[in-house]
Amino acid sequence: MSNEVHVGIAMNGVTGRMGTNQHLMRSIVAIREQGGVATEDGRRIIPEPILVGRNAEKLEKLAQRSGVSRWTTDLDEALAADDCEVYFDAQATSLRVPSCARAIAAGKHIYCEKPTALTTSEAYHLYDLARKAGVKHGVVQDKLWLPGLMKVQELIDNGFFGRILSVRGEFGYWVFEGDRIEAQRPSWNYRKEDGGGIMLDMLCHWRYVLDNLFGNVRSLTCVGATHIKKRWDENNEPYECTADDAAYATFQLEDEVVAHFNSSWTVRVRRDDLLTMQIDGTEGSAVAGLRECYTQSYEQTPKPVWNPDVPQPIAFFDNWEKVEDGKQYDNAFKAQWELFLKHVVTDTPFRWGLLEGAKGVQLAELGLQSWAEGQWLEVPSLESVVAG
C-alpha cells in the first residue's frame, strides 16, 4: 500500500511574477522534487498542480518549464476535477474574492496571497464564507519564515531584548519608471483602480509581522505619497499613477511598544537588505534583514557623547554580533506551503487563515483613512467593525 497522499491544487494566477517564482517553482515544484511533504504518521503529501489562468500561451509555456502536465483557462473546469482539493489564488487582488468564493462554493480548501481583498468587509466576508462552508483556509504570510525574522523570534523567546521598546522597519527599493529602464514591478501596482498601492500591499505584511512578533496593533497614523506621477507599462505606453508608491506609518502596539515602518518603491538602498528591522529593548537591540540578524547587548552598547565639531570617534557598526545558529532555512513561501498541506491532510494546527488576512486588509484600509483624514486611528476588533 502506497504511503503517498496526492493533493490536487488549482493554482490560479501563477503566470505572474510571484505566482511563478515563489509559489509554483520554488514551492510546489520544489516540494514535488524533494518527494513531497513528510507527515508524522509516515506518509508523504504530493501536490498535484493544475495551472489556471487567462492566457493559454503563457500557461502552456509555464507547464513545460515546470514539468506540470495539467493546465486550463477555465477555472470551473479545474474546480470540477475529481482530485482537486485545494484552490490557490495569486491573481491581482481585485479578482481574488469572486474566484475564492467560487472555490469555496465548490467545497475546496482555500490558500491565497495577500491582500485577500480590497476592503475589510470583503476580506471578512471571504473568511465568513469559508468558516460557514467548513473548508480549511490559509493566507500567505511569508515573512514570518524569513531567516532574519525567525532569528528575531528566537531572540524574543530567549528574553534577549528584555522589555521591547520600539521597532523600526525600512522596506523598499527604486522601481524604475519603465521609459529608460524596464520596470521590475507590474504596472497595475501603481493604479488604484486596479487594486494597486504600496499601502494595501505592505501594511498587510506589517500587520502579521507586528501581531506575531511584537504585540497586537492598537492604533496607527500613516502618510502616503505618489512620488512618481507617470510611469510606462508593459507595452511601453505611458500612464498616470493613481496609487501610492510610498507609505510612512507609525503604530502603537500593546505593552506600549512603538513601531514605525517606511515602505517605498521610490527609495535607493543604502542598508543591509531590501527590508531591515531594528528592535530596541532594555537589555539589547537587534537589526535583522531578510536572512541575517545582528545583535548588540547592553554590555556591548557604546557610550557616545554629542560633539559635532570633531570626527566621530566611535565606529557604530562595530560591537554588533552576527547571529550564527547553524540552521538551514528553506524558502519562506515553501515552508508555509508545507504547513498548509499538512493542515489539509493531517489536520495539524494552522493559525494563518483568512481572518488573519482580513486583519491585514483592515490595517491597510485604516492607513489610507489616516492619510486622508490626517489623524491617529484606533484599530478595533474585526467583529465590532463587521457588526457595526
Written as nine digits, the cell of 106 is 465548490
pLDDT on residue 352: 97
pLDDT in the model for residue 387 = 65
**Pairing mode, strands 4-12 and 44-52:** parallel
* Residue 11 near residue 51, CB atoms below 8 Å: yes
The percent of residues in the chain predicted with pLDDT above 90, rounded, is: 96
pLDDT over 60 (residue 1) = no
Cα–Cα separations (whole angstroms), residue 149 to 4, 115, 143, 172, 344: 33, 21, 7, 17, 26
Dump the DSSP string for 175-204. Answer: PP-SSSS--SS-GGGG-GGGT--HHHHHHH
| The C-alpha cell that represents 10 in the structure block | 488549482
Q: Which fold has domain 146-327+363-370?
A: Dihydrodipicolinate Reductase; domain 2 (3.30.360)
Give the separation between CA 114 and CA 204, rounded to whole angstroms. Answer: 7
The most distant pair of C-alpha atoms in the chain lies apart, rounded to whole Å, by 79
Count CA atoms closer than 13 A to 71's CA, side-chain side. 22
Q: Which residue has the cell 524569513?
A: 146
Amino acid letter for position 140:
V
CA distance 174 to 377: 30
Helix, strand, coil percentages (3-state) for the chain, rounded to 5, are 35, 25, 40
The number of angstroms, rounded, from the C-alpha of 37 to the middle of its chain's C-alpha atoms is 22
Q: Tell me, what's the pLDDT at 368?
A: 97
Would you say the CATH fold of 146-327+363-370 matches that of 4-142+332-351?
Answer: no
Question: Cell 480548501 appears where?
Answer: 109
Kindly indicate the confidence band of residue 382, based on its pLDDT and cuts at 50, 70 and 90: confident
What is the pLDDT at residue 2?
74
174-203 residue pLDDT tens: 999 999 999 999 999 999 999 899 999 999
pTM, whole model, 2 decimals?
A: 0.94
Residue range 4-142+332-351 in CATH 3.40.190.10: no
Tell me, what's the pLDDT at 384?
73
134-185: per-residue pLDDT in tens? 999 999 999 999 999 999 999 999 999 999 999 999 999 999 999 999 999 9
The DSSP line for 18-72 is HIIIIIIIIIIIHHHHTTSEE-TTS-EEEEEEEEE-S-HHHHHHHHHHHT---EE
Q: Which three cell numbers stand for residue 6?
A: 496526492
Question: How many residues are given for the chain?
Answer: 388
Enumerate the domain spans of the chain: 4-142+332-351, 146-327+363-370
Average pLDDT, the chain: 96
